[in-house]
A and B are shown apart, each in its own frame.
Chain A
Amino acid sequence: MAINPDFAGRTYPATAPYEVSRVKIAEFADAIGDTSPLYRDAAVAQAAGHSDVIAPPTFAIVVSMVGAGHALADPGLGLDYSMVVHGEQQFSYTRPLRAGDVVTAQATIASIRSVGSLSMMTTRTEIRTTAGELVCTAVSTLVERGK
C-alpha cells in the first residue's frame, strides 16, 4: 500500500517535554565513538561558550524522531514501517542542544510523493524549548520500498 498523499500538510501535536540530560548525551557520544569532552565535561563546554555540556549535532534525531513518530503512527497514513529506509536527513540549528534544555518536537508532513514503486514522505520537525526558542529544524525523508 502506498502512502496516502492526502496527508501532506498535516501538522501533529508537539511531543511531551523532553529533558536533555548529561547522561543521555554521554551515552549517545559513546555510541558514536566520539570522545570530545564538550559532550562530557561541563567546564570544557563552558570554556567554549556553552552553559553546560552540548550534544553532538545528530543527537537532535533522538528528539525529532519522537515528533515524527506521531506522524508515522497516524492510522490512515498507510506507511509500512518494515519497508521503510531513511532517504535523506537535514538539520538546521540556531545553537547546539545542551544538557538542561527542555524541548518539544512538532512534526508536519511536508510532502508525499511516489516515484515508480517507491513512496517518499518528507517530515519537517521543529525542536523548541518549552519557552518557545527554536533550537533545531529536522527535515527527514523516509522511503517506503514497493512490494
Chain B
Amino acid sequence: MSAQVSYASVEAGTELPAVSYPVSRLSLVKYCGASGDFNVIHWNDRMARAVGLPDVIAHGMFTMAEAGRYVTDWAGPAATVAEFGVRFSAPVVVPDDDAGATLEVSGKIEEKLDGNRVALALTARAAGTKVLSRARAVVILP
C-alpha cells in the first residue's frame, strides 16, 4: 500500500511523478464484466470499425478508473476522494496484440483548499494523445 500524504506536507504547484498503466484487450473484457458496460465497441473490432472507430477502444470509465488509481495511490490509504471529474477528449485505441495500449497519467497539486482538501490537476495520454482533459480530483488528506 502506498505511503500516506498529509495536508501539511503538500504544496500547490508541485508536479507529481507520472505513472504508466497498461491496457490490454483482457483489461477491457474484465472491465465489461465488472462494470456491466458491454458496449460492443469495447470488445468487438468488427463492430467498432462498423461505427467508424479505428479499432476497439477502452471504456472512458476504464481510463477514468486508472486516473482515479493514480490519485488514490498518491494520496494514501487514509485519504478520501471528495470530487473527481474528467472530460474524455480522445479515445484510447487498444489493438489486438501483445502490447495493447499504455496510459500515462501525471498530476500536479493545483490548489490547497479549506477542510484539508487538496485539488489535483491530472493529465492522461495514450500514444502521445491527450485522452482526458479538464481532469481534476479533490482529495481530503489527514
Contact = CB atoms under 8 A, between A and B. Distances in A.
Contact of A89 (B33, B36, B64): B64
B86 interface: yes
Majority-rule SS of A interface residues? mixed
A88 interface: yes
B1 A61 contact: no
Interface in B50-101: 51-52, 59-62, 64-66, 68-69, 71-73, 77-78, 80-88, 91
B82 A92 contact: yes
B7 interface: no
Nearest to A26: B34
A56 B34 contact: no
A54 to B, nearest CB: 8
B36 A62 contact: yes
Interface residues of A, number: 37
Interface string B8-52: 000000000000011000010011011111010000000000011
B112 to A, nearest CB: 19
A24 B36 CA distance: 11
A140 B36 CA distance: 16
Contacts, number: 107
Given A30-B34, A61-B35, A91-B83, A44 B77 contact: yes
A32 B77 CA distance: 17
Given A31-B31, A48-B77, A65-B36, A37 B82 contact: no
B84 A91 contact: yes
Most chain B CB inside 10 Å of its own CB: which residue of A57, A65, A81, A145 = A57
Nearest to B40: A82
Contacts of B1: 36-38, 44
B105 to A, nearest CB: 12
A96 interface: yes
A30 B78 contact: no
23 contacts: A30-B34, A32-B66, A33-B21, A38-B1, A48-B77, A48-B78, A49-B78, A56-B68, A57-B71, A58-B61, A58-B84, A61-B35, A65-B35, A82-B51, A87-B88, A88-B85, A88-B87, A90-B83, A90-B85, A91-B83, A92-B83, A93-B82, A139-B85
Interface of A: 24, 27-28, 30-34, 36-38, 44, 48-49, 56-58, 61-62, 65-66, 81-83, 85-93, 95-96, 139, 145
